[in-house]
Amino acid sequence: MIGNRLITKQTPKSGILVNKVMVARSVNITRETYLCILLDREHNGPVLIASPAGGMDIEAVAEETPEKLLTVPLDIDKPIPEATLIEVAKFLEFKGDTVKRCAEEIQKLYTLFKSVDAVQIEINPLAETDKGEVISVDAKLNFDDNAQFRQKDIFDMDITEEEADPREVEAAKYNLNYVAMDGNIGCLVNGAGLAMATMDIIQLNGGSPANFLDVGGGVNESQVAKAFEILTADPKVKGILVNVFGGIVNCATIANGIVAASKKLKLNVPLVVRLEGTNVDKAREILKNSGLPIQTASDLDDAAQKSVAALN
């Protein structure tokens, strides 16, 4: 495995180079179950999801045999009650002494979940062995980014060279959210919802977005400049659409960043800017007086139409 590229549904198409292999004790599995603890917006807190159908795609289980899925809301301030643990273990079809062993394993996992600020711990499979052991054979853990300050040891283990795209790694250093796509119109937007809407309306007007780039609400001029660097580093980008609603963010800050970045990078692709909200009149004045060939748009639909037309 070492030196070869691992290709799965969770890697880029080119795969990820294998530099290390973890060797664990081999166990003889007689039965596989599924267990997950995650933060759930609908329940406003952690929930436990269990299924006796482990070792397989849990989404398929939920769709085809929903009766094999148990969801239990949990109290973030208390351990899981003993009765609940026993109920879950029996639902997972453990019997005899393994019921108690399963209950203990679940409680330990919930303690771990809270102690490391996890947003998800997925065990697939939670297995029963030929010796009557209950073991978390394979696990996936996700952590709350907001807890990085108190989970430094965990976040220091992050290996950025394994990230899907080096531009995503670079963007994250500047608190920018970037995801590459296959189109040719680069998008710079503040807010994930607005970014999704922007991509949708570009496609509605016959274009194709090259990326998802969310600069967030507390953006400054240097972040805007870095965002432009990342966008223009993609050879597929033939035009850029900036769509910012200034609620928290100051539109003038965005405008100054756009002008500075365009001049520094000697931008040579069409640029369409739609700004609305805080200090928008000042922002429009900055763009107008920049001497740059920046097209301004009155609304999102106008911006998308101009972006697509500029490529044609």
What mean pLDDT is reported for the chain? Answer: 90
Question: Given this model, what pLDDT does residue 21 score?
Answer: 93
Examine the domain organization and report whether 152 and 170 are in the same domain: no
Residues catalogued as catalytic? 34, 122
- Would 42 be classed as within a structural domain? yes
Query: Averaged over 275-291, what is the pLDDT?
Result: 90
Structure tokens at 148: 């990085």
With beta carbons less than 8 A apart as the criterion, state whether 295 and 304 touch.
no
Reported as a pLDDT band with limits 50, 70 and 90, residue 8 is confident
Residue 271 and residue 295 in contact, taking contact as beta carbons nearer than 8 Å? yes
- Would residue 5 count as lying in a domain? no
Question: Average pLDDT for residues 42-49, to the nearest whole number?
Answer: 95
Q: Could you tell me if 115 and 173 lie in one domain?
A: no
pLDDT number for residue 161: 59
**Final residue belonging to a domain, choices 89, 123, 156:** 156
Is the pLDDT at 203 greater than 90? The verdict is yes
- How much is the CA Rg of the chain, to the nearest whole Å? 25
pLDDT at 268 over 80: yes
pLDDT at 162: 58
Predicted confidence band of residue 9 (pLDDT cuts 50, 70, 90): confident
Domain for residue 80, yes or no? Answer: yes
Residues 171 and 306 in one domain: yes
Q: Taking residues 278-306, what's their average pLDDT? A: 90
Does residue 222 sit in the same domain as residue 142? Answer: no
Q: Would you say residue 299 has pLDDT above 80?
A: yes
At residue 176, the pLDDT reads: 86
The model's confidence at residue 159, banded by pLDDT at 50, 70 and 90, is: low
The two tokens of residue 82 are 């003993």
Give the pLDDT band of residue 173 (cuts 50, 70, 90).
confident
Q: Are residues 179 and 147 in the same domain?
A: no
Same domain? 136 vs 259: no
Tokens standing for residue 119 = 């947003």
∠154-218-38 over CA atoms, to 5°? 40
Residue 130 has φ and ψ, to the nearest 5°, of -70, -10
SS3 of residue 273 by DSSP:
strand
Model confidence at 14, pLDDT cuts 50, 70, 90, reads: confident
Q: Which of 135, 142, 143 is nearest to 55 (CA)?
A: 135
The answer to whether the predicted template modeling score (pTM) of the entire model surpasses 0.95 is no
Residues 71-92: tens digit of each pLDDT: 999 999 999 999 999 999 999 9
Is residue 281 one of the residues assigned to a domain? yes
The CATH number that applies at residue 50 is 3.30.470.20
Asked whether residue 77 is domain-assigned, the answer is yes
- Among 123, 156, 189, residue at a domain's last position: 156
My answer on whether 151 and 182 are in the same domain is no
For residues 183 and 149, membership in a common domain is answered with no
Instruction: Let me know if residue 24 belongs to a domain.
Output: no
In a domain, 236, yes or no: yes
CATH code of the domain containing 226: 3.40.50.261
Do 150 and 180 sit in the same domain of this protein?
A: no
Q: Of 104, 136, 156, which residue sits at a domain end?
A: 156
Q: How far from 106 is each of 137, 173, 224, CA to CA, in Å? A: 13, 36, 45
Identify the domain containing residue 59 by its residue range.
Answer: 29-156
Residues 55 and 117 in one domain: yes
Instruction: Provide, rounded to the nearest whole percent, the portion of the chain with pLDDT above 70.
Output: 97
- Which residue do the tokens 């998802």 mark? 212
Q: What is the count of structural domains for the chain? A: 2
Q: Mind listing the pLDDT tens digit for each residue in 213-235?
A: 888 767 788 888 888 899 888 88
202 and 304 inside one domain: yes
Same domain, 149 and 178: no
Range name among 7-16, 99-108, 149-158, 251-260 with the lowest pLDDT average: 7-16
Give me the residue label for tokens 């097209």.
Answer: 295
- Residue 248 pLDDT more than 80? no
Distances (CA, A) of 139 to 81, 124, 254: 23, 6, 42
Residue 186 domain flag = yes
**Which pLDDT band holds residue 193 (cuts at 50, 70, 90)?**
confident
Per-residue pLDDT, averaged over 5-23, amounts to 86
